Amino acid sequence: MKDLRIWGLKKSPWVYHLAAASCNNCDIEILELLTPRYDVERFGAVLVGSPRHADALLVTGVINRKSLPRVLEVYEQTPKPCLVIAIGTCACNNHIFRNSYNAVGPYDKYIPVHAYIPGCPPKPEAMILGIVKALSKL
């Protein structure tokens, strides 16, 4: 049964985009992935509106004190197994905000992260590569 789930996940990963406290840039580059230049839909990746439909979470930004409970809630709502892909240096290691009083991230302190894509923001090509690598590890 688990193999079947992973097979389904690899074929067409539906992604949910979760911005904790980001600067918007990684989020825009994620949307950029869906638009004609990069068009990840040709690989079967679709942006979905609810974490309950998602196979993969694309997480961006540092987590702050207010968004932390919401991030955990979204993670709980996502059906398992799910991939968590940290996009941007903020999501990987808090970046320039590491001394901030309000940043409680990064994500891997709270939820398992399968792939890290550093960059500020990472180029869409790097994001595609990261997602493909994460999927091929399954």
Partner 1 sequence: MSDETKSRRIVPIGPYHPLQEEPEFFKLIVEGEKVVDLEIHIGYNHRGHEFISPELTYDQVPFLVERICGICSNSHPLAAVLAIEDCAGIKSPPRANFIRSIIHELERIHSHLLWVGLAGHFIGYNTVWMWAWRYREHILEVFEMITGNRNHYTVNKPGGVRWDIKPEYIPQIHAALDLVEKKTMMLTKAVLDDPVIRARLEGVGILTREQAIAWSVLGPTARGSGVDIDVRRDDPHAAYDQVPWNVIVLPEGDVFAKAKVRLLEIFESVRIIRGCLDNLPDGPIDVRIDEIPPGEGVGRTEAPRGEVFHYIRSDGSNRPIRHKIRAPSYMNIASNVVAVRGGSIADAALTLAAVDPCYCCTERMAAFEDGKMKYSGQELLRLSWEKTEKLREGLGKSHYQEGRLE
Phi, psi (deg, nearest 5) at residue 46: -125, 140
- Is 115 a binding residue for partner 1 by CB under 8 A? The answer is no
- Is 93 a binding residue for partner 1 by CB under 8 A? The answer is no
In the complex, least distance from residue 50 CB atom to partner 1, rounded to whole angstroms:
7
Amino acid in the structure at residue 110: Y
In 3-state terms, what secondary structure has residue 85?
A: strand
- Is 136 a binding residue for partner 1 by CB under 8 A? The answer is no
- Is 82 a binding residue for partner 1 by CB under 8 A? The answer is no
Structure token pair of residue 113: 């992260």
Amino acid in the structure at residue 1: M
In the complex, least distance from residue 113 CB atom to partner 1, rounded to whole angstroms:
18
d(CA 57, CA 38): 19
- Is 14 a binding residue for partner 1 by CB under 8 A? The answer is no
55 in Cβ contact with 16 (< 8 Å)? no
d(CA 66, CA 54): 23
In the complex, least distance from residue 72 CB atom to partner 1, rounded to whole angstroms:
11
In the complex, least distance from residue 112 CB atom to partner 1, rounded to whole angstroms:
19
State the residues that interact with partner 1 by CB under 8 A: 17-32, 35-37, 47-51, 61-62, 64-67, 69-70, 74, 95-97, 99-103, 120-121, 123
